Homo-oligomer: A and B are copies of this chain.
């Protein structure tokens, strides 16, 4: 398996072990992971720390040129906020574990020039299916859905 997707899944599992939402993300620059993170809504009472946001925050302040050659991995199709973060920084490539349990604005990202690749990974799907079945209210909160 792609070691970077494996690292994102490891982050998702860390989140699950903390009783959080099992979504993970890593940022890859020049062949190495420079940031990793997972959803921290529960753990930090956060409204903005989706996995990708936590990952970008943990990567720290990078230069525009660095973002422009980075790849963002997420176990789940990025929502509007996280997709917007990728657009803000001009991250050219986004690798997604799965988009069966949730689908962000994928067509819009592609129209804006992002190379979006969906891996349809069974482990990513299984993590989300179990979580959504167990905690539907928390999941709806995370995606702003009544």
Q: Is the interface of A mostly helix, strand, loop or mixed?
A: helix
Q: Which of A53-75 contact B (CB under 8 A)?
A: 53, 56-57, 59-65, 67-68
A80 within 8 A of B: yes
A107 within 8 A of B: no
Q: Which of A83-119 contact B (CB under 8 A)?
A: 83-85, 87-90, 105, 108
B-binding segment of A12-20, A39-47, A126-134: A39-47
The answer to whether B60 and A45 touch across the interface, beta carbons within 8 angstroms, is yes
Say which residue of B61, B63, B87, B140 sits within 8 Å of A80 (CB atoms).
B87
25 sampled A-B residue pairs with Cβ under 8 A: A41-B61, A45-B61, A46-B61, A47-B59, A47-B60, A47-B62, A48-B85, A61-B141, A64-B140, A64-B144, A67-B144, A79-B84, A80-B88, A81-B81, A81-B85, A81-B87, A81-B88, A82-B84, A83-B84, A84-B85, A84-B87, A87-B105, A88-B143, A90-B144, A108-B108
